[in-house]
Structures are given as structure tokens and as C-alpha cells.
Structure 1
Amino acid sequence: MRIKNIVITAKMPKKYDFAIHFTVLVLLLFGTLMIVSTTVGNASSVLSIIIAFVKQAVFLVVSYTLMVLLANNFTMQKAQKWLVPIFVGLMAAMIATQFFPDVYGSKAWIRIPLGFTQVTLQPSEFVKTFMVVVLAVYVEIYARRNYKWTTVMRIPIIFLLSFILMIFIQKDIGTLAVMLSMVGVCFLIPSHKNLRKPQKILLILICTGIGLLLFLMSEPGMEVVRWFGEKFPYFAHITTRFENAINPFLDPYVGGYQPINGLYGIARGGLQGVGFGESIQKYGYLTQSDNDYILSIVIEELGVFGLGIIVAGYAIIIKRLFYYAFRTKSEGYKVILIGTAMYIFAHFVLNVGGVGGLIPLTGVPLLFISSGGSSMMSIMSAIGISQAIIARIRRQGTIQKKIKYKKEPQN
């Protein structure tokens, strides 16, 4: 069915990638089971468990619908028309977050009361997918034109700086880290000759940033972090997270309480785990057991096997996205496919590294697994857009093969 050139269907487009689709569904099912398990530990009554399950089910349906809708309708031309309205909508939503209470020092959520419960939305989550599409559209537009790099990237830079400002105000460092890593990698993809110099500069900055992070995780670097926290109290929570990453036992009852109990859960699970639903840490020891620290519960209950399901699922999706990125000549398509892969990879590294105490906790969820409707809708939108591109790449490949076959001389 079509409504004003919009395809309305419950089916994925022809030639979509079934491996990605199936893997996403498996991860979502696995994540839902783990959320139900963790909710039992945090629930005050049976009703609260039912409400949590219903909310998760609704977000699943909405997210899947978004994926199918975008998989059947996304094109670069349509995206270009909608960039400005979506940008304005996202900025308005991010400004609105400042009128709601903060969570652990960050004001990044809109709270919608629904009588006996509430729904929270995090507008900055959608910025990640949006910025990948913005870069892809402008790379595609200027791919074969000899414009200066400032002309090619003027609009994406304006959008990016606006979002950076708002995320900075929200004090949501995790989202900022993910977005910048995604945008940085995507900027390195185009082969436009006028982009080569700024790409080299960006690559140097990325390497410098990684080196700086490693330095800040050392004892001398920690002194710099503490000095920064004292001089700029607005970012004092960042100092706490660095200290907890280096040694959470310095403040075991306040700042280090969650990280320590997260590590206890991982240690208790070991190789085999204690069994599904048998976690102890979810009973009040980890207040974010269904979100930031869900990996700790997964390993505690299912051991390395549970971690293996997540790693294998991510690996399959990322591998397939890169496979199609290398098959297409469209640099805009490459940006979206690799940007989506980077989206998943960045979340995995920051979440696993933070829960494992290897890097400061950033508060980013474990995609497809953690609770949170905004992150689920955002990544499913990115998957839907990627599937639309994959279907187009595969159809074009089929057409080219048929044309080549017809032109072959007959004996």
C-alpha cells in the first residue's frame, strides 16, 4: 500500500540482508529476556513487572515498525528534503530536556507521565543516526564536484556544532563520545580530493585523543583530571568516573558502589554463570541493572556464554555491513553502512569497557540488550536505513549481471 509515495507494509524490501535481520531479532529477544530477569530484582510488585514488560513490548513494536518503514522508503533524495525539519525538531526536543529533572548529573531526558507510570525519551540518541545520514547525503551530493571541503561540509558542521553545544549543556558525555567517534570515522570515508588534508588532520587528532585518554587513566593523568574537576565544578562528575575506573574501592559506598557491584556480578558468573534468573546483584545492588549494567547481570547469570551471544551477534551485523560497504561505489552508501557499524561498535566498547572498569563509565546502553526506548528506536532506524541501502545494492548487482549476460555473444 502507498500513501503519498510512502510504502506501508509489514514486509522487508526485496533483496534485504536476512542474516542482519535475523541476528537483530535474536539480540532483541535475548535483551528482552534479560530485561525481564533484571526487572524482577528491581520490582516492588507484580504490577511493576507487568508494566516494565508492556513498555518493553511497545518499544519493540515501535522500533521494528520504524525499521521496516525506513527499509522500504529511505532514499537519499527523501532524506535531503527532511534534513532541516528533523534538525529543528531534534534541537527543540533537546532544549526541552532542560525543563526536566537531571539523572546522575545529566539533563538529557524528556519524561512523559502516563498515570501509573512514565515514558522517558532521550532526543540525543536520535542525533547519532541523523548525523550519519547528514554526512552521507552531503558526501553523495558533492562526490564528483570540485568544491572546497568547507563547502562540502558546511551544513554537516553547522548541525554537528549545534548538537555538540546542546549535549555539552546536558552533560551527557557518553552520547557525545559515541557521536564524535561515529562522525569522525564517517568523515574519513569519502575520497573527495579536497577532503584529504582535513582528513589527515582529523586522523592525527583521533590518535592524539586516544593517547590522551590513556594518559588520563594513569596516576599522573588522574592528577590533571582532579585539577580540571576542581577548576570546573560543572564537570566534577567526570572526575568521579575517572577515579572509579582506576580504583572504585577509593569510594566504595558512594561513587564506587555501582562499579564494584558490577564487577562482583561478572566475577560471580565466571564461565558458566549461576543460571538464568538467579542473579543476586540485581536485587538492589545495581540500580541500573536493566540498562548501563545489564552486561554484569548477563555474565552473572549466563557466564561467558551470555557474553558470547552478544559478541557473536554484533560481529555478524558489523561484518555484513562492511561487506556491503565494500561492494558499493556510492560513498554516501558507504558512510551510512560503516557509520551504522561504528554506532554498534562504539556502544559496545564504551559499555563493556565501562562495566569492566577498563575505561570511565559513560552511561551508554548496550544496544539491543539494555532497556531504553530511545536507543532501541535509534539503532533500529539505522538498521532500517542500512537495509534499504543493502536492498538497493543487491538489486543493482542483479541488474548488472543480467545486462552483462545479455550482451555476451551467442555461439
Structure 2
Amino acid sequence: MTGTVPPRSPASTTRTGTRATTPTGRTTQPITEGTDARRGGAPGASRPNGSGQSADRPTGLRAVTVSLGRRFSEGDRDVSLLIAVTLALVVYGLVMVLSSSSVEEFAAGNSISDKFVRQGLFALVGVPLMLIASRLPERFWSAMAWPLLVVGVALQALVLTPLGYEVNGNRAWIDLAGFSMQPAEVLKIALIVWLASVISRKEKLLNDWRHAFIPVVPVLVIAIGIALLTKDLGTVMVIAVCVLGALFCGGFPLTYLALGGIAAAGMSIVFAATSPNRVARISAFYTGDCDYEDLCWQSTHGLYALSAGGFFGVGLGNSRAKWSWLPEADNDFIFAIVGEEFGLVGALVMIALFVALAVLMVRLLVRSTSTFRRTIIGGVLVWLLFQGFVNIAVVLGLLPVLGVPLPLVSSGGSALLTTLGAIGIVLAMAHADTNETAARSRPRSGEGARRTSPTASRARER
């Protein structure tokens, strides 16, 4: 039987879930409970506006998210701060190189800014190099482990050829078509990256002494053995310590690390004992019986410079020690010039920058989830921290003179380039950790579609 169903008033509409349904089966727009009652009208009533649409049409409430750009994670902040601290140390170093080397360059008949200009050019190359290295993926550095090692060992071996030359009794430099460099700086990076690659590949086999010793021990013996032939004990100590730091952070068994540390200490003692000059310097340091005009000249005038600086210093450019009183004023003893010209305040600022550098790297190290990344970050951290500590301790008279420059601050183009490159690799490892954390936090494919509201689920059931 067919007929015409009389229309019903809006008040007689029935509600199912969140939608109003008429007897004819047509579904109206979603409504909100109580909306019409609050407005004083019957449920479903609407007031037309000038556009022909319902001005008071009830609609469901929806959340709107406005994106103001990608939020910075904790790792991003640490990366940005690490770049800022590194640049601050580089700028601090450039200012001090200009001040500490001006007299020496003038006495040599050069422009007083010659060393500063050279150091500045290396900084202009090194900072972009650091940023480029920071954007290279982890797999790139893993693939470059063996090539870097071969290049590092080959450059170090060139020191023993006619290309090498001696400075202050240490044959540790080479001259390549007018470009002077210290190959040991490249060797540090090469060993750290190579150790990271080896340890990450053999991580589960390191408890077996055969896998732990091969190929690590033979390669280290060759690389450090060649470095020992250059007679630069300070640089060899830094290489050995950064290797031990990389192995420790990479999870190398502590028993084998202890054996390696004992072997390194024994070699250092033997190597120092075979050099009469080193024996004299070490004995003078511990006994206090020192020839002022010979062995103790440099260390004594370094302390004179620090004491002359007082609390606020004598002012930038006003150092007296750099007037041929302090050898290596722009290199190994540049911290003494910092203390003289900027006083205790300036020296503490520089120390605070190195402490900040170490803290930021420790944060990146703790956050890292990959053995490869931890090994690299830990190796570079120990390298820079130990070398900076040794340099400052020598100036303060806490250690005998070892001839170790202050990272990022002392003059030296190859040292500045390699140090900035090493920090760039650390930044690359930090970026890899951040990307991995972000990938884990994103929902998997299809997971978002499965997450539906209860209202939508009930609507599908109906």
C-alpha cells in the first residue's frame, strides 16, 4: 500500500548518534546536543542569512592545528650549541693568533698580520668543511673508514721521506708543494673512524680475543709505530689516548683496554728514557732543579705572563711576553698570552668554552644509540678534551713541556682543518641519531588509518 506520508515538524525528528534522521531516510547535517535549545529555537531550526545558507547551522567541533615549523628536539639544540661554541673558540683563537704572532712576524720582516691571515684562510675553509661533513650520512663515513686509514698512514709515513722536515727536534711535518702540514692530525681522524667501523661490525664477537685483537692491534701497532719514529712524544700520547677513548666508548672489553693502556704507558716510558733531552726536562720538572736559561725558560716565562695578567689582564695587544720572551707564543703557549692580555677572566672564559664543548659532546654521546656513532663521538671527545687539558696544564706548570697545541685556538692550518672536520663528523653522527629518533616516533604505514574516533566507529557499525 502506497500513500503520502505527511511531513513532520522538526521537533519530531529522531536522533541517531550525532545525526538527525527524517522518516524518509534522509540524513541532515550533524548537530550538537543542546545547541537549538540554548538558542531558543526548536531542534533543527535554522535562520537563513543573506547568502541563502543557514547562519545558525549547528556543526561539530573540530580541532585545528597550526604548524609554526618543525619543532627543535633536544638533539637539535645540542647540535646548534656545539656549532656556536666551536665558532666562538675559532674566533677567540684568531684574535689571539693576531696578537701573539705580531711581534714575531715583524721581527722576521713580514707583515704583522701574516699568520693571522693564513689562519683566517684556513678557518674560512674549515668551517664550511665542518658543515659539509655534518650533512654527510652515516653510511658515507662507514664506507670511508678504510680509505681514510690508508691515507692517514701513508701521509704519516711521508714524514720519514725527504718530504718530511724537523721542527724543534721533532720530525713531524711534511711539505707538499709549499703546503706544510702535520700528518698526525689526519691520522687521528682516520683511526677514530676506522675503529668505529671495525667495532660496530664485530660488536658481538669482541669477547673472543681473536676478534678483538685482529685487525685492531696490528693496525694500531703500524700506525702508532710510524708516529713514534717522528720523535713527537706529545702527539703520540694524544693519538694513543684518543684511540683508547674511542675503544672504551665503543664497548671494547675493559680487560683488553687495560692491557692496551699498560702497553701504551710502558712504550711512553721507554721512548722518553731513550731521549736525553726528554729525560732532562722530566727530571727538571719533578726535582725543581732547572736551568732558567735552557730547560725552564719557556715554562717560567709562561707563568710570568699569567701572573702579569692579574684579574682583568693588561689589554689586548699589550703582552710583554710575546716580545721574544716566550717561544711558541702563538702555538703551544698561546694560553699564556690569553692569561696575560685578558687576565684570569679571559682565561676562565676560554676554559668555560672547552668545558661547554665537552658537555655538549657528552650529551650527544649519551643520547647515541649506535655503536658506530658512539665510538666516533667518544674518540673525538677524548681527543679534544685531553689535548686541551695537556696544553693548559703545561702552561700552568702542572706538566712538563710536551709541545701540544691548544685545539681550535693555536696557530696551525692543518690542525685547525682536521679539528673542524672531526667536529663535523660528530655533528653528522648527532644528525643521524636525531633522524633515527624522529623515524621511531612517526606512526607506521597504515597505523594512522587504524586510529579512529569512537563516533566514527559507531557510524561504520550503523
Q: How far apart in 1 are the matches of 2:99 and 2:222? A: 39
Name which structure has the greater RCO, CA cutoff 8 Å, separation 6+.
Answer: 1
- Residue 323 of structure 2: which of 278, 283, 297 is its match? 283
1:198 is aligned, of 241, 245, 256, to 256
Counterpart residue type for residue 22 of structure 1: A
Matches within 5 A, 1:204-215: 205=262, 209=265
Pick closer, same or farther for the CA change 1:340–1:43 going to 2, 3 Å. Answer: same
* Alignment partner, residue 143 of structure 1: 203
User: How big is each residue's C-alpha offset from its partner over 1:214-265, in whole Å with a ceiling of 9 and x where there is no partner?
Assistant: xx9xxxxxxx99xx74xx3xx2221133134336662111222111111110
Question: Are residues 1:78 and 2:140 paired?
Answer: yes
Aligned-partner SS, 1:101: strand
Q: Deviation of residue 282 (structure 1)?
A: 0.4
- Residue 283 of structure 2 aligns with an amino acid whose one-letter code is E
CA drift of 1:305 comes to 1.5
The residue that corresponds to 1:58 in the other structure is 121
Closer/same/farther in 2, CA of residues 410 and 332 from structure 1, 3 Å limit? farther
Counterparts of residues 310-329 of structure 1 (less than 5 Å)? 310-329=350-369
1:290-341 Cα shifts (integer Å, max 9, x gaps): 0000000000110112212221111112111111211122122111111111
Greater shift after overlay, 321-330 or 241-250?
A: 241-250
Q: 2:83 aligns with which of 21, 26, 31?
A: 21
Corresponding residue for 2:294?
Answer: 254
What is the DSSP-based 3-state SS (H/G/I as helix, E as strand, rest coil) of the residue aligned with 1:354?
Answer: helix
User: SS state of the match for residue 109, structure 1?
Assistant: strand
- Shift in Å, 1:147: 6.9
SS of 2:144's equivalent in the other structure is helix
What amino acid maps onto 1:385 in structure 2? I
Name whichever structure is richer in helix by fraction: 1
Ranges in structure 1 where 5+ consecutive residues have no aligned partner: 1-13, 217-223
8 Å CA contact 1:38–1:290 kept in 2: the answer is yes
Q: Which has the larger radius of gyration?
A: 2
2:247 corresponds to which of 176, 180, 187: 187
Residue 241 of structure 1 pairs with residue 241 of structure 2: no
CA distance in 1, matches of 2:407, 2:423: 12
- Secondary structure, in 3 states, of the residue corresponding to 1:403? coil
Q: 1:259 to 1:398 in 2, by over 3 A?
A: same
Conserved? CA contact 1:87–1:159, under 8 Å: no
8 Å contact kept, 2:149–2:194: no
- Residue type matched to 2:193 in 1? V
The match for 1:125 is: 185
- Cα deviations by residue, 1:180-237 (Å, 9 ceiling, x for unpaired): 1111122223446xx353245456x39x959x99xx9xxxxxxx99xx74xx3xx222
Instruction: Measure, in 1, the Cα distance between the counterparts of 2:265 and 2:206.
Output: 31
Residue 169 of structure 1 corresponds to 229
CA contact (8 A) 1:39 1:52 kept: yes
Residue 104 of structure 2 corresponds to which residue in structure 1? 42
Answer yes or no: is 1:155 the counterpart of 2:215.
yes
Per the alignment, in what secondary structure is the counterpart of residue 120 of structure 1?
Answer: strand
Q: Please give the alpha-carbon distance, in whole angstroms, between the structure 1 residues aligned to 2:451 and 2:82.
A: 35
DSSP-derived class of the 2:345 partner: helix
Structure 2 Cα separation of the partners of residues 356 and 91 of structure 1:
34
Name the SS for the 1:108 alignment partner. Answer: strand
| Distance in 1 (alpha carbons) for counterparts of 2:206 and 2:398 | 44
Query: Following the alignment from structure 2 to structure 1, what is the Cα–Cα distance between the partners of residues 314 and 183?
Result: 37
Structure 1 distance, partners of 2:297, 2:159, is 27
**RMSD across aligned C-alpha pairs, in angstroms?**
2.9
Letter in 2 for 1:176: V
- Match of 2:295, SS? coil
CA offset digits 1:93-137 (Å, max 9, x no partner): 2222233331121100113565xxxx4200011111221111111
Worse overlay, 262-271 or 39-48: 39-48
Matched, 1:266 2:328: no
Contact 1:351 1:364 in 2 (8 A): yes
Taking structure 1 as reference, are residues 280 and 80 closer, same or farther at Cα in structure 2, changes over 3 Å only? Answer: same
Tell me how far apart the structure 2 counterparts of residues 138 and 394 of structure 1 sit (CA, whole Å).
23
| Percent identity for Structure 1 against Structure 2 | 24
TM-score by length of 2: 0.74
Q: Which residue of 1 aligns with 2:166?
A: 102
- Give the CA deviation at 1:86: 2.8
Distance 1:111 1:309 in 2: 36
Return closer, same or farther for 1:369/1:191 CA change in 2, 3 Å cut-off.
closer
Partners in 1 of 2:142 and 2:431 — Cα distance?
20
Judging changes above 3 Å, is the alpha-carbon distance between structure 1 residues 246 and 196 closer, same or farther for their aligned structure 2 residues?
closer
